[in-house]
Amino acid sequence: MSNERYERGWQKLQEIDGEAGERVIESLKDIAPDFARYLIEFPFGDIYSRPGLDLKSREIATVAALTALGNAAPQLRVHIQAALNVGVTRRQVVETIMQMAVYAGFPAALNGLFAAKEVFQARNEKGLA
Amino acid sequence: MSNERYERGWQKLQEIDGEAGERVIESLKDIAPDFARYLIEFPFGDIYSRPGLDLKSREIATVAALTALGNAAPQLRVHIQAALNVGVTRRQVVETIMQMAVYAGFPAALNGLFAAKEVFQARNEKGLA
Amino acid sequence: MSNERYERGWQKLQEIDGEAGERVIESLKDIAPDFARYLIEFPFGDIYSRPGLDLKSREIATVAALTALGNAAPQLRVHIQAALNVGVTRRQVVETIMQMAVYAGFPAALNGLFAAKEVFQARNEKGLA
Amino acid sequence: MSNERYERGWQKLQEIDGEAGERVIESLKDIAPDFARYLIEFPFGDIYSRPGLDLKSREIATVAALTALGNAAPQLRVHIQAALNVGVTRRQVVETIMQMAVYAGFPAALNGLFAAKEVFQARNEKGLA
Amino acid sequence: MSNERYERGWQKLQEIDGEAGERVIESLKDIAPDFARYLIEFPFGDIYSRPGLDLKSREIATVAALTALGNAAPQLRVHIQAALNVGVTRRQVVETIMQMAVYAGFPAALNGLFAAKEVFQARNEKGLA
Amino acid sequence: MSNERYERGWQKLQEIDGEAGERVIESLKDIAPDFARYLIEFPFGDIYSRPGLDLKSREIATVAALTALGNAAPQLRVHIQAALNVGVTRRQVVETIMQMAVYAGFPAALNGLFAAKEVFQARNEKGLA
């Protein structure tokens, strides 16, 4: 089952999402182990591993999209963390989310900001940037 | 009716959207002139004028969000243009849209890519990057 | 197949949507005649026939929702017409749509305003309010 | 208030949703009793009672749609149960949800899988398939 | 930072949302104070302060839209309260939400009704209409 | 670039979507050739090739989801065709779409039915079922 895309994806997942990503994979093991594999192979092994757009920009795009869609709160929190992990600043995360008020309305932006607040507080407690 | 936010917004609108932005404003004049003003003042005078996130990243965020939402095709085309206007490369636009397959599904990404194709072709004809 | 809900719904459909409603029903006859019947019976025979909220408020609610959802352009145009048919003013339609910028973003509101513009122009040509 | 559609709908609701459906109806009694009636009459008395598509396929369609929409978690859990109640296997539920990654993105599919996991665990505790 | 739009917006926010609005503003102070200001200035200072549509109709429009979108539960509860604060009756709130079954499906309407139930119960405990 | 997943996906794409699928792939060649490859590999090579859910059920799920989402009209038409290609009857397609009125509202179902009507007419002209 192991292959080049899986290996590349697993490394990329750890670089971007760290422990939070591993927990998602772990939680899929009993219900849909193949989906855990796809999640590593396609988003991380194929997409995030592509050159042509740096990881900071990729995470800004993802935080923007998940804030705008507004229906995937756990994944938004994971990607706010991911953005900070790859070097996006808290300020840039907040600016990205605020901008979504223009494209998806104030409630979407508000809920995004509250998600960021939660992530920032958890990171403060761990002494992370 | 003119004021500092309006002036700042109008300049920002022209910097980002050029003629396409002006056409949107013009088309609102007979039905909702105040909305034309709000559109200049809030998104452009307030949000896009903020420091803390560069214009390239802001346009990547907007292209990502509009691709993911998938229900605002004209605005997506305007912002693919805007992204190119502020220095995002075609490759980066394409990468941003492709990534949305992960967060909003393949149809959203496909429709975003077809929008980009249309914009790129129109710009080719005008000799624009 | 005719019954009290159907009769009440048909009358309500004509009161609210006029010819536009009849055309929708007609266009369903060959592909899903039962759905044409459900459309008359549930939305119009059950919901719009209820006391407790006047028709003007009901159409303001519908125009708001369809503008915000942004994925049902033909139905939005039908209900902008319906709103005007039951006595909502053009100004109130425009205000309702503009307000959606707050809850669903500027693109949704813009596309709603352009739909209203189209409906208003068609009514101008027919000499309707 | 009782009628043929209501009777048919009530039976269908119990066949499909069992206790979970009854609880939803019960919880509407004080706030919107007519809506409880509509919920029995239209979705269950009209739609789910139709020949032309078997109940298993109907529940696969509903699980797919609610997973893709991603904004109705309680109803998704009710319909994962309903699918199992009418004979869809756990494997088929999982396959249906996984497939939604293609049409609505990985977060929608992930949240659907976690809902399935919750439902499966609750059924394990009750000794249900 | 204080200005005419801010003052007008702050008064309108208190008239419409009362304490609940103030709490939202307060909760933004540490993460995005400028967004708290925009929230007062644009939705409340610009939009809700406009003549041309009465506040009751505006809140009916907002409750309709947030019910239909289905991805902003906290804001829906705030605006069900706001509707009642400006004189919309509980019956009218319930009718507005029920109507959304037609435009956004039964799950959206159900979740809106459960939000209303929660708000009504909290107001009962405080002796509010 | 050719590999097992690609080969399997290409065969599955042709089995399900026929010419319509090939046209989509073709139209991506100049703007995002890698995305054409991903589209073959992940949805078709990974997902649709899985045992555990028959192709008819998979297409019913996809038609349901795309009707409910309502923001991917071209892909909905492709999958109505795909459903018919793999043996779903027109009646079953219509039933699946009608059912979405319950979960995503009447406009979504209406627009789905009009898409089906268009596909059925085109197939009539070609003498297809």
Query: Residue E2: is its pLDDT beyond 90?
Result: no
Q: Which two tokens stand for residue D20?
A: 């979970």
- The residue whose two tokens read 């093991």 is A29
Q: Give the Cα separation of E125 and E120 in Å (integer).
A: 9
Residues 6+ apart with CB under 8 A from A62: A79, A82, A83, B64, B99, B102, B103
- The residue whose two tokens read 């200072």 is E45
Q: Which amino acid is at C30?
A: D
Q: Search chain E and give the residue with CA nearest C47.
A: E99
Report the percent of chain A where pLDDT is more than 90.
94
pLDDT at F2: 57
**Residue B21 with chain C: CB contacts under 8 Å:** none
Q: Search chain B and give the residue with CA nearest E45.
A: B38
For chains D and E, CB pairs below 8 A equal: 48
CB B76 within 8 A of CB B112: yes
**A91: number of Cβ within 10 Å:** 12
- The residue whose two tokens read 């007979």 is B30
Phi, psi dihedral angles at E81 (to 5 degrees):
-60, -45
Closest by Cβ to A106, choosing from E31, E39, E71: E39
Closest CA–CA distance from residue F70 to any residue of chain C (Å):
6
Q: Which of C93-102, C115-124, E11-20 has the lowest mean pLDDT?
A: E11-20
Give the helix/strand (H/E) hosting A14: helix A4-28
The answer to whether the CB atoms of F113 and C24 lie below 8 A apart is no
Query: Residue F44: is its pLDDT beyond 70?
Result: yes
The answer to whether the CB atoms of B117 and F30 lie below 8 A apart is yes
CB D121 within 8 A of CB D76: no
E18-52 pLDDT, tens digit each: 888 899 999 999 999 999 999 999 999 999 999 99
Q: Which amino acid is at D80?
A: I
pLDDT at E72: 95
Give the helix/strand (H/E) hosting A25: helix A4-28
E6 close to B (CB below 8 A): no
Q: Give the Cα separation of C6 and C2 in Å (integer).
A: 6
| Maximal CA-CA distance, chain D | 45
Q: Give the Cα separation of A39 and A25 in Å (integer).
A: 8
Q: Which two tokens stand for residue E112?
A: 């809106």
> What ipTM does the predicted assembly reach?
0.96
**F55: number of Cβ within 10 Å:** 18
What stretches of chain D show up as alpha helix (H) in DSSP?
Answer: 4-28, 33-39, 55-69, 73-85, 90-104, 106-126
Query: Residue B1: is its pLDDT beyond 50?
Result: no
Mutation target to probe the F interface, by most F beta carbons within 10 A, among B66, B80, B106, B124 is B106
The answer to whether the CB atoms of A72 and D98 lie below 8 A apart is no
**Residue F70 with chain C: CB contacts under 8 Å:** 69, 71-72
Average pLDDT, stretch A12-41?
94
Residues 6+ apart with CB under 8 A from C4: C45
B73 close to F (CB below 8 A): no
Q: Search chain A and give the residue with CA nearest E35.
A: A98
Tell me how far CA of residue D107 lies from CA of A24, B101, C40, in angstroms: 11, 11, 37
Instruction: Enumerate neighbours of C (3 or more CB pairs within 8 A).
Output: A, B, D, E, F
Among candidate residues B42, C127, A89, the one with its CA nearest the CA of residue E43: B42
Overall residue count recorded for chain C in this entry: 129
Among candidate residues C10, C95, C88, the one with its CA nearest the CA of residue C49: C10
The answer to whether the CB atoms of B107 and D103 lie below 8 A apart is yes
The answer to whether the CB atoms of D75 and E107 lie below 8 A apart is yes
- The residue whose two tokens read 């319906």 is C82
pLDDT at B56: 98
pLDDT at B108: 98
Residue A97 class from Cβ within 10 Å (0-12 exposed, 13-18 middle, 19+ buried)? buried
Q: Search chain E and give the residue with CA nearest F98.
A: E105
Closest CA–CA distance from residue C85 to any residue of chain B (Å):
19
Closest CA–CA distance from residue A55 to any residue of chain F (Å):
19
Mutation target to probe the C interface, by most C beta carbons within 10 A, among E96, E106, E113 is E96
Tell me how far CA of residue F60 lies from CA of A77, B100, D92, E106, F76, in angstroms: 33, 24, 13, 20, 11
Q: Give the Cα separation of C31 and E9 in Å (integer).
A: 51
Residues 6+ apart with CB under 8 A from C125: none
Closest CA–CA distance from residue C94 to any residue of chain A (Å):
18
Residue C18 class from Cβ within 10 Å (0-12 exposed, 13-18 middle, 19+ buried)? middle
Query: Residue D2: is its pLDDT beyond 60?
Result: no
Query: Residue B21: is its pLDDT beyond 50?
Result: yes
Among candidate residues C95, C99, C92, the one with its CA nearest the CA of residue C129: C92
The answer to whether the CB atoms of D39 and E106 lie below 8 A apart is yes
Q: Which amino acid is at F105?
A: G
Q: Give the Cα separation of C68 and C120 in Å (integer).
A: 20
C40-51 pLDDT, tens digit each: 999 999 999 999
Q: Which amino acid is at C59?
A: E
Using CA of residue D120, residue D23, residue D57, residue C39, what is the dihedral sign? negative
Among candidate residues D60, D95, D100, the one with its CA nearest the CA of residue D79: D60
Reported confidence tier of residue D20, pLDDT bands at 50, 70, 90: confident
F3-29 pLDDT, tens digit each: 999 999 999 999 999 888 899 999 999
**Residue A106 with chain E: CB contacts under 8 Å:** 39, 43, 75
Q: Search chain A and give the residue with CA nearest E32.
A: A94
Q: Search chain B and give the residue with CA nearest F27.
A: B114
Q: Give the Cα separation of A82 and B102 in Å (integer).
A: 15
Reported confidence tier of residue E129, pLDDT bands at 50, 70, 90: confident
CB B113 within 8 A of CB F35: yes
Q: Which two tokens stand for residue E59?
A: 């809140």
Instruction: Enumerate neighbours of D (3 or more CB pairs within 8 A).
Output: A, B, C, E, F
Using CA of residue A29, residue A33, residue A36, residue A37, what is the dihedral sign? positive
